[in-house]
């Protein structure tokens, strides 16, 4: 029963993070751009308002993802994990570590740059953020797929 609950939490949190990133990248950001006719200053103001206060909830998601994954690994290890199983765990951990590192960059390096950027710098910064966000989406999505395929969401 504990394993099932941990699996549901782990998979649910991964799905929540993937869904939020996908919605932001493919629905919200393009609409904001159209809404403000591509004006980088107004787009930045809107995105800043929407992003305000999001750091802690996302940190909580990442923390729950790590802790539930570690707990699931511990339970699986008690039952015996094959070499392939350990490899899968290692790959998922590397993917999640990469996504966590990118989130750190966005939160503590990238946003301050955007906040203090000159209007002419905003388009390049927004493109960089989009590349980082797409990379995070690929990393978290790949880890989730590996979990489902490998039977360890």
**84-117 per-position pLDDT tens digit:** 989 999 999 999 999 999 999 999 999 999 999 9
- What is the residue range of 114's domain? 2-150
CA distances from 87 to 84, 92, 95 (A): 5, 9, 12
Q: Report the SS3 class of residue 99.
A: helix
What pTM did the predictor assign?
0.89
Q: Measured at the alpha carbon of residue 14, what is the angle toward residues 25 and 1, in degrees to the nearest 5?
A: 160
Q: Measured at the alpha carbon of residue 99, what is the angle toward residues 123 and 121, in degrees to the nearest 5?
A: 15
Name the stretches of the chain with pLDDT < 50: 153
- Closest Cα to residue 121, out of 132, 110, 131, 134? 110
Contact indicator for 61, 21 with CB cutoff of 8 Å: no
Number of domains in the chain: 1
State the helix-helix crossing angle for 83-105 and 122-150, rounded to 10 degrees: 160
Q: Measured at the alpha carbon of residue 141, what is the angle toward residues 135 and 145, in degrees to the nearest 5?
A: 145
């Amino acid at each position: 029963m504990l394993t099932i609950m941990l699996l549901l939490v782990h998979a649910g949190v991964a799905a929540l993070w993937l869904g939020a990133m996908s919605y932001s990248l493919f629905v919200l950001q393009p609409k904001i751009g159209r809404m403000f006719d591509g004006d980088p200053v107004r787009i930045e103001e809107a995105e800043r308002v929407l992003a305000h206060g999001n750091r802690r909830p996302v940190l909580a998601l990442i923390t729950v993802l790590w802790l539930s994954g570690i707990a699931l690994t511990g339970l699986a290890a008690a039952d015996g994990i094959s070499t392939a199983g350990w490899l899968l765990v290692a790959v998922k951990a590397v993917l999640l570590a990469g996504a966590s590192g990118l989130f750190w960059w966005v939160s503590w390096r990238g946003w301050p740059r955007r906040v203090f950027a000159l209007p002419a710098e905003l388009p390049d910064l927004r493109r960089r953020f989009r590349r980082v966000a797409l990379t995070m989406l690929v990393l978290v999505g790949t880890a989730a797929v590996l979990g489902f395929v490998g039977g360890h969401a």
